[in-house]
A and B are shown apart, each in its own frame.
Chain A
């Protein structure tokens, strides 16, 4: 993936900056989901000001480190452009059934053709507003997602390209933890984009109504 070709005079977001922004977004999105869906007890979370709003972030050290480790690798993949999708699956602890899949598609924004004038870089405030909207929407999904009244665990899957650099002893191939098509409902959420990445969010949940 070539780095951005934008005019250096503008306050353009570079690939690295965009990657960090996206990684940070995943951190807060994952925390929000884990809190909202009750995967971890509510009193493990504390409030943090972020994106101009309050976000609940875990203070469970083990979980914090776990997410940190994952996101570090995701960051590397984002830099090389080899990750296409991140999935946070919420799984029933007892039956190991996948109850929800929070899907974040990662697309690379196409650079405009050479003929066209380089688009003005997106201001960070606008990106933050979009991120804020996604997080708000994740919170609002509680209103229509089925109530989970059993203990759950989560898992984070990374969809990478074949050629991706994978630390062999840390990341292992796995099944997609998919929900059977006949029992799955999907809701597309908002998206946000930087100059380099475009993140599209979606939630699929088990619904046997």
Chain B
């Protein structure tokens, strides 16, 4: 039976047989393909027949035990000629349909030129014969059952009727990748080790290419004993009058950057109460103080007296933001209140949109929009128009973004392109998203190595700064549209960097951390040719004062 149905490869090589009979005889004498066994050996054991034939083509003379006659011919150059031609045959004959019944002698040559088993193309496997192809094509068009599944699916989708079969899936989803929590945790821990040298090398050339070096040493360090190491609080604020307010547990201090004087502003009344947030008004005259009891206090900086206490919140006020005479406060219960500090009934608006504690709150400088971030991983942007609404009136968020996967504390409005808002998520998110608040679109995203605790935009450069928690405890500077890292100050503090405030000149950034230090970093230079001469003066004065106070 096997001789009657010769295999395909034999048939293909049949058409051109340039070999001399003597060569054929010589080849036949090689052990692996005896014509008597022929096709049977070929079919039953593909390994034996294909294995020795595939790798060697012209090296046959040395590799296999060759008969003397063949070697003689090889010296005469016959083998080489045959080898090349048989190689050509391979190329041309893949397209030749098979012809039945051929002399078995040609098979030997074929088997030397190509693996006998795999005559199909490497990628187009179904090109067995032309007839076969047309047959399958016919089937595909006529019979949906044997058609390609894509076609079937399309057909099924178009008709809305499943074609006499059911599509089933296992009831539970496959396990998440890296489901081994320990392994994934280890990966996460190991990653910084690998990235550290790379990160440094990548940051150094980019900063050097811009001919800019950012000092990794703080310009000044202030002690902040007893500062509460709580991610959700906002404990430092820097006014336009170059005064830094810092809350240390129940006390509030102000530090005049010009002179280095420290003044104790006040103390929270009540047992176990502490200051949970401070914020300077835009003119720097007043300081809003949020208290853990839910009160919001108003202090006059000039006279260092408390002007009023605005109560009403049920729990701690973790963030404050001023818009002219309106002081907005974000509360632990997720509500945001607008307090009009001028009137007796101070509550002029309530914004309900967060399910968790509000931990980030920033007015845009023009007062049109208010951005808030909450412990419910949501970023909301609210219409800033408070208007003459009655107390208790409720606003709705202009838009709500749920892209973050952790608490959103870092909120920052871009000073030179007012529609830009940056928000950064907590530990399990560690991502900075840049939003266009006009359209609500997410413009950029940046994944950082650790939790983002605050965002500050540079007023003079297309850059922004982020502060980070464990494990890097870093201060990072990114360029804006490219999101490239300009510089990174690793281990800026001994523990997580929790707060940052930008100086009025826009050059020095103050950071606070749980290690009870406030550090001042000169990140950006104030441009010299800018018309803002007064700005520059302020900057210089702040610099000189800090140097003075160090001595």
Does B bind A?
yes
> Which A residues fall within an 8 A CB radius of B?
39-41, 43-44, 60-63, 66, 69-70, 73, 84-85, 87, 101, 103, 105, 107, 117, 123, 125-126, 129, 133, 137, 140, 151, 153-162, 164, 166, 169-176, 178-179, 181, 184, 186-191, 202, 204
Q: Quick check: is B75 within 8 A (CB to CB) of the other chain?
A: no
Q: Quick check: is B194 within 8 A (CB to CB) of the other chain?
A: no
Which 7 pairs between the two chains have the least Cβ-Cβ distance?
A62-B175, A178-B153, A174-B169, A171-B168, A176-B153, A190-B125, A103-B149
Q: Which residues from A are CB-within-8-Å of B154? A: 178, 181
Q: Which residues from B are CB-within-8-Å of A160? A: 165-166, 168
Other-chain contact of B125, A103, A159, A189 (Cβ < 8 Å): A189
Contact with A along B140-173 (1 / 0, CB 8 A): 0000011011100110110000001111111111
Can you report 10 A-B residue pairs in the complex whose CB atoms are below 8 A from each other? A40-B178, A63-B179, A66-B175, A140-B122, A140-B123, A154-B174, A159-B165, A172-B168, A173-B168, A189-B125
CB proximity of B78 to chain A, nearest CB, Å:
33
Q: How far is the CA of A137 from the CA of B125 in the complex (A)?
A: 10
Docked-complex contact A63 and B117, CB < 8 angstroms? no
Q: How far is the CA of A76 from the CA of B177 in the complex (A)?
A: 28
Those of B15-70 within 8 Å (CB) of chain A? 43-47
Q: How far is the CA of A157 from the CA of B120 in the complex (A)?
A: 30
Q: Which residues from A are CB-within-8-Å of B156? A: 176
Q: Which residues from B are CB-within-8-Å of A191? A: 125
Given contacts A44-B180, A172-B169, contact A155 B150 (CB under 8 A): no
Q: Which residues from A are CB-within-8-Å of B125? A: 137, 188-191
Q: How far is the CA of A166 from the CA of B167 in the complex (A)?
A: 11
Docked-complex contact B149 and A69, CB < 8 angstroms? no
Docked-complex contact A60 and B150, CB < 8 angstroms? no
Q: Which residues from A are CB-within-8-Å of B148? A: 103, 186, 202, 204
Q: How far is the CA of A158 from the CA of B170 in the complex (A)?
A: 9
Docked-complex contact B169 and A125, CB < 8 angstroms? no
CB proximity of A93 to chain B, nearest CB, Å:
9
Given contacts A44-B180, A161-B164, contact A178 B150 (CB under 8 A): yes
Range, interface on chain B: 35 or more
Q: Which residues from B are CB-within-8-Å of A179? A: 150
CB proximity of B161 to chain A, nearest CB, Å:
12
CB proximity of B322 to chain A, nearest CB, Å:
38
Q: Which residues from B are CB-within-8-Å of A169? A: 171
Q: Which residues from B are CB-within-8-Å of A161? A: 164-166
Other-chain contact of A173, B43, B145, B167, B177 (Cβ < 8 Å): B167
Docked-complex contact A70 and B180, CB < 8 angstroms? no
Q: Knowing that A44-B178, A159-B149, A189-B125 touch, tell me 15 more A-B residue pairs with CB under 8 angstroms.
A: A41-B177, A60-B180, A62-B175, A66-B172, A69-B170, A70-B170, A87-B149, A103-B150, A105-B149, A123-B44, A123-B45, A156-B169, A157-B168, A161-B164, A176-B167
Grouping DSSP codes into helix (H, G, I), strand (E, B) and loop, the A interface class, with mixed when no group exceeds half, is mixed
> Which B residues fall within an 8 A CB radius of A?
1, 43-47, 117-118, 120, 122-126, 145-146, 148-150, 153-154, 156-157, 164-180, 183, 187
CB proximity of B122 to chain A, nearest CB, Å:
8
Q: Which residues from A are CB-within-8-Å of B179? A: 60, 62-63
Q: Which residues from B are CB-within-8-Å of A155? A: 169, 173-174
Q: Which residues from A are CB-within-8-Å of B47? A: 125, 129
Q: How far is the CA of A179 from the CA of B125 in the complex (A)?
A: 23
Docked-complex contact A159 and B150, CB < 8 angstroms? no
Docked-complex contact A66 and B177, CB < 8 angstroms? no
Docked-complex contact B170 and A156, CB < 8 angstroms? yes
Q: How far is the CA of A175 from the CA of B149 in the complex (A)?
A: 13
Docked-complex contact A66 and B174, CB < 8 angstroms? yes
Q: Which residues from A are CB-within-8-Å of B175? A: 60, 62-63, 66
Q: Which residues from A are CB-within-8-Å of B46? A: 125-126, 129
Q: Which residue of B lies closest to A190 (CB)?
A: B125
Q: How far is the CA of A143 from the CA of B125 in the complex (A)?
A: 17
CB proximity of A13 to chain B, nearest CB, Å:
15
Q: How far is the CA of A161 from the CA of B167 in the complex (A)?
A: 9
CB proximity of B240 to chain A, nearest CB, Å:
43
Other-chain contact of B174, A41, A63, A85 (Cβ < 8 Å): A63
CB proximity of B444 to chain A, nearest CB, Å:
17
